[in-house]
Structure 1
Amino acid sequence: MSEQKIKTVVVDDEPLARKGLRTRLERHADIEVVAECQNGVDAVSVISKLRPDLVFLDIQMPGLNGFQVIHKLRELHQPIPLIVFVTAYDSYAIKAFDVHALDYLLKPADDERLRETLVKVRNYFGNQHQDEQSRKLVDLVADLTGDDCEEILRKLANGEAIETNPYPDVLAIKDGSEVTRVAVQDIQWIDAAGDYMCVHALDGMHIMRKTMKELEQELNPQWFVRVHRSAIANIRFVKKLVSHISGEYHLILQNDTELKVSRSHRDKVKAAMKM
């Protein structure tokens, strides 16, 4: 890495912040800023396409925040570049990141602080073994539950424990001698058919032998909610909740599938939809 430039991407929703950081970075001959991104969605696309070595990633952004960018890259099975987090909130005692990350910068970054960061960057790439300690925050963030970066920062700052996601990203569905791996995020809804569960995913329906209770315990309740004794829905695929004159409620999914909501599960469904 010492004989070639370090391909770098700057991600920040504030144009002046991006310009200021880029200007400072361009004073260093071994740093090549190959792209700027104004939001998290652009960042995921650019990082996936350009495969940079280093990313200066703003944490607080509308749409996808910095943590969610890492989530998305992991979901897309993209390699995670070296991350330096950038934030305007010194009140969060971001030095908590020192335990996990390569480094962080407070906006606006001054020249001396940036030089210190780049020394760490060069040492990282110059180390043949590339100390795995610098990846710990990336691994931690990628598995965090919830999307509230402010709450995550507060917990990191106060030294509070952060729960990682105990739920699987993939369901392994066995059918005779074959095992199909179904991405949990692609599951739209699940309903029961006798002793079997019908898992309706984007790639079609899969049959598995498991109880509804077992599946309910396996799936992340942040996204999956029991709507009936015999059905679970992924809230991310719900288009609307409809009430009928009879007093019954039905969920309408994005593919127009209609699921009845039983009276005993109605309040939980409403809470999941933040009604």
Structure 2
Amino acid sequence: MYRVALCDDEEKQRELVKNILITLSIKSNIEFEFELFDSGEQLVSHYESSGNPFHIIILDIEMGGINGIQTAQLIRNLKNFDEQIIFLTSYPEYMVESFDVITFQYLIKPIAPHILEEKVIKLCQYFQALDKKWMIIKSAYEEVVLRYDDIIGIEAAKSLTIKSKLNFITTSQTYDSKGIISEYALALKDFNFLQIHRSIIINLIHVKKFASGAVLMSNGAEFPIGRSKVKEVKDFYTKFMVMKGH
């Protein structure tokens, strides 16, 4: 879930940008939470009152009162450096000024929806790259550090001796561990992992193709898709490919 601040003194423009991102959310499975501000003063006040920070601020430059660049400067002065700022303007001459406040993107109005979508997807990919990409599991008597991208799938395994046994199938080998499959599915859902069966989670980056009721992975393994999950899995994979294609 990415928090987005839309700051523009024109309601029509705020709604336009919001609708573009809602459409992107439907297409790509990226979730956004919006807050709308009609002035730079209102947005700065949000930060001064210790309001929740945002991942992305989409900021109009020409506004009554303080303009977008002044607004961004005040936010940065409050030591908020993680927010990624996209400026919208009708005038290119502000571009050099905008660099002083660490700007991610500078877009000229009228905004082409596909351009804004492309920039926001790049931002979301950037945020994902910053997130944790490693997990530690206990296997036998040692702790093993696994890179998310190296994990092909996680499978609940039947065992007479080990309760809640899991197999972590990676590009190099399979590790035995213990855990609850549904808990891993929840923890990994923002990292390209999807539960396709009550006992199987796959990493979408390792999908080669879908067969009849099954999915073929990059290592040649074939995992069954739960009958009730076939549509959900294909829909989710389509959205994953939309995101990956940018």
Q: Comparing both chains, which one has the higher relative contact order based on Cα–Cα distances under 8 Å and sequence gaps of 6 or more? A: 2
